[in-house]
Amino acid sequence: MALIDKIRNREACLGVIGLGYVGLPLLVEFARAGFRAVGVDIDGRKVARVNEGDSYIKDVPSSDLRRFLDAGKLTATTDFSVLADVDTVDICVPTPLRKTRDPDISFIVSAVEKIQGHVHDQMLIVLESTTYPGTTEEVILPMLQSDSFVVGRDFYLAFSPERVDPGNKDHNTRNIPKVVGGVTPKCTEVASALYSATLSKIVPVSSVRVAETVKLLENTFRSVNIGLVNEIALMCNKMDIDVWEVIDAAATKPFGFMPFYPGPGLGGHCIPIDPFYLSWKAKLSGFEARFIELAGQINGSMPEYVVHKIADALNGQKKSLNGSKILILGVSYKADIDDIRESPALDIIGLLQRKGAEVVYHDPLVEPQHHELAHLRGIALTAEEIGSCDCAAIVTGHQGVDYRMVLKHIPVLVDTRNVLKGIRSDKIVKL
pLDDT above 90 (res 317): yes
Residue 396 banded pLDDT, cuts 50, 70, 90: very high
Residue 354 has pLDDT above 90, yes or no: yes
Which residues, in sequence order, are CB contacts of 94 under 8 Å at separation 6+? Answer: 18, 20, 107, 129, 269
d(C-alpha 4, C-alpha 348), whole Å: 51
Q: What is the mean pLDDT of residues 39-49?
A: 97
Fold of the domain built from segment(s) 232-430: Rossmann fold (3.40.50)
Closest CA to 282 of 220, 342, 224: 220
Query: How is residue 40 annotated by DSSP?
Result: E
Give the separation between CA 77 and CA 85, rounded to whole angstroms: 13
65-68 CB contacts, 8 Å cutoff, 24+ apart = 65/28, 68/28, 68/31, 68/32, 68/37
Please, what's the b/e burial string for 196-227 (b: 16 or more CB within 10 A of its CB; e: otherwise)?
Answer: bbbbeebebbebbbebbbbbbebbbebbbebb
Instruction: Give the DSSP letter of residue 203.
Output: E
Whether 385 shows a pLDDT value over 90: the answer reads yes
Which residues are tagged catalytic? 270
pLDDT at 368: 77
Residue 270 has what pLDDT?
Answer: 77
Domain ranges of the chain: 2-206, 232-430
pLDDT given for residue 101 in this prediction = 75
Higher pLDDT pick, 217 / 169: 217
User: What is the mean predicted confidence (pLDDT) over 47-68?
Assistant: 96
Residues 152 and 122: their CA atoms lie apart, in Å, by: 9
pLDDT band at 379 (very low <50, low <70, confident <90, very high): very high
Reply yes or no on whether the pLDDT at 410 is more than 90: yes
Q: Among residues of the chain, what percentage have pLDDT more than 90? A: 86
The predicted model gives 300-325 an average pLDDT of 97
- pLDDT for 181: 98
Q: Across all residues in the chain, what is the average pLDDT? A: 95
User: CA-to-CA distance for 13 and 34, rounded, in angstroms?
Assistant: 10
For 246-302, strand residue ranges (E) read: none
pLDDT value of position 122: 97
With bands split at pLDDT 50, 70 and 90, how would you rate the model's confidence at 397?
very high
d(C-alpha 151, C-alpha 398), whole Å? 47
Judged against a pLDDT cut of 80, whether residue 370 lies above it is answered with no
Residue 353 has what pLDDT? 97
pTM of the model: 0.90
Task: Check for a shared fold between 2-206 and 232-430.
Answer: yes
For the chain, how far is it from start to end, CA to CA, in angstroms?
58
393 pLDDT higher than 90: yes
Residue range 71-118, pLDDT digits in tens: 999 999 999 999 999 999 999 999 988 877 788 999 999 999 999 999
More confident residue, 199 or 270: 199
Q: Tell me the pLDDT tens digit for each residue of 234-288.
A: 999 999 999 999 999 999 999 999 999 999 998 877 778 888 888 888 888 899 9
Q: How confident is the model at residue 367 (pLDDT cuts 50, 70, 90)?
A: confident
pLDDT, average across residues 223-231: 96
* pLDDT above 80 for 14: yes
CATH superfamily of the domain spanning 2-206: NAD(P)-binding Rossmann-like Domain (3.40.50.720)
Handedness of CA 113, 195, 129, 279 (dihedral sign): positive
**pLDDT at 165 (0 to 100):** 86
The CA distance from 260 to 139, in Å, is 36
Mean pLDDT for the stretch of residues 302-318: 97
